[in-house]
Amino acid sequence: MKIVTWNVNSLRVRLPHVLDWLKTEQPDILALQEIKMEDKDFPVEDIEAAGYSVIYSGQKTYNGVAILSRGVCGDVIADIPGLDDHQRRVLCATLDVASGAASPAMHTQVRVMNVYIPNGEAVGSDKYRYKLDWLEKLVIYLEEQRAIYPYLILLGDFNIAPEACDVHDPMLWDGRVLCSAPERKMFERFVDLGLCDTFRLFEQAPNQFSWWDYRMAAFRRDLGLRIDHILASPALCAACVSSRIDKIPRAWERPSDHAPVVAVFDL
């Protein structure tokens, strides 16, 4: 089972990239963030023609999330309970995944939680306080979901670089938004709930980033941060066989500023 997260920074602009990438990579699940379109404008026919079912929660100009899958999604949630928020940043669904080549009739229920966590703008700002409150509500909901679903994936654009090695210049970013201690503490709380960072299950080359600013030739100079993540429950961590960042789409014409992050599980 190949699961992917990708902040496409406008699906209207990046749809050709997504369709080309789907054709090449054939993931089982693709979670998108920042689709930046209302539900009435979502390109359902194009996605279904590529062989995928899709659910989405859109918003004009900003935010918006979607889950593309080979199977049918159930138990769909588009709001975190207890969080009064009009921004479309969450989409959770359960997928019935066929598992075991020797026993094709066996199925595993996988809970997918696709999140676009607020950026926070600047430490100490109203948007930063909003981000920390948003994360607090997510942790509470995640704890409830973990108790229900042994096979759970939390993935998306976290807007958090959890460690110094996830930043091109740790000293420059120290204490700034995306890298501040309170944000990293929230990431640690996901881990404390039993989730693993699938990317760090495997030996990785240095300077592995998933986001590069459009400015200052950041991608060419590799001035990036790893802020897109796939976290998995223990049952899925034990089945994870690889995890990587695909930088190729970031080099395409008119790219998203994020690259897809991929994890593969042997279920």
Task: Give per-residue pLDDT as tens, 92-142.
Answer: 999 987 654 444 455 689 999 999 999 999 999 999 999 999 999 999 999
pLDDT at residue 99, as a whole number? 56
Give 164's DSSP letter.
Answer: G
Kindly state the helix (H) or strand (E) to which residue 3 belongs, with its residue range: strand 2-7
CA–CA gap between residue 202 and residue 97 (Å, rounded):
24
Task: Copy the structure tokens of residue 239.
Answer: 């089945």
What confidence score (pLDDT) does residue 144 get?
96
CB of 122 closer than 8 Å to CB of 177: yes
**Active site amino acids:** 116, 157
AA letter at 27:
P
> What is the chain's length?
267
Sole residue written with tokens 């926070």: 120
- For residue 98, what pLDDT is reported? 66
CB contact burial 106-130 (16+ within 10 A = b; e otherwise): eebebbbbbbbbbebeebeeeebeb
Least confident of 44-48, 62-66, 95-99: 95-99
Spatial separation of the C-alpha atoms in residues 253 and 267, rounded to whole Å: 36
Q: What is the mean pLDDT of residues 213-241?
A: 98
d(CA 56, CA 217): 32
Residue 239: pLDDT over 80? yes
Q: Tell me, what's the pLDDT at 115? A: 98
Report which secondary-structure segment, H or E, holds 92.
Answer: strand 90-98
Please say whether the beta carbons of 156 and 33 come within 8 A.
yes
> Given a cut of 70, is residue 210 above it in pLDDT?
yes
pLDDT at residue 22, as a whole number: 98
Other beta carbons less than 10 A from residue 81's beta carbon: 9
Q: Is the CB of residue 89 less than 8 Å from the CB of residue 62?
A: no
Share of the chain above pLDDT 90, in %: 92
Mean model confidence pLDDT for the chain: 95
- Give me 120's structure tokens: 């926070």
Please tell me which residue, 102 or 224, carries the higher pLDDT value.
224
Domains and CATH numbers, the chain: 2-265 (3.60.10.10)
Cα torsion through 206, 209, 214, 216, rounded to 10: -20
Q: Which residue has the higher pLDDT, 104 or 259?
A: 259
Helices (H), 26-167: 44-49, 126-148
Helix axes 126-148 and 181-192, enclosed angle (nearest 10): 0
| H or E element that contains 111 | strand 107-116
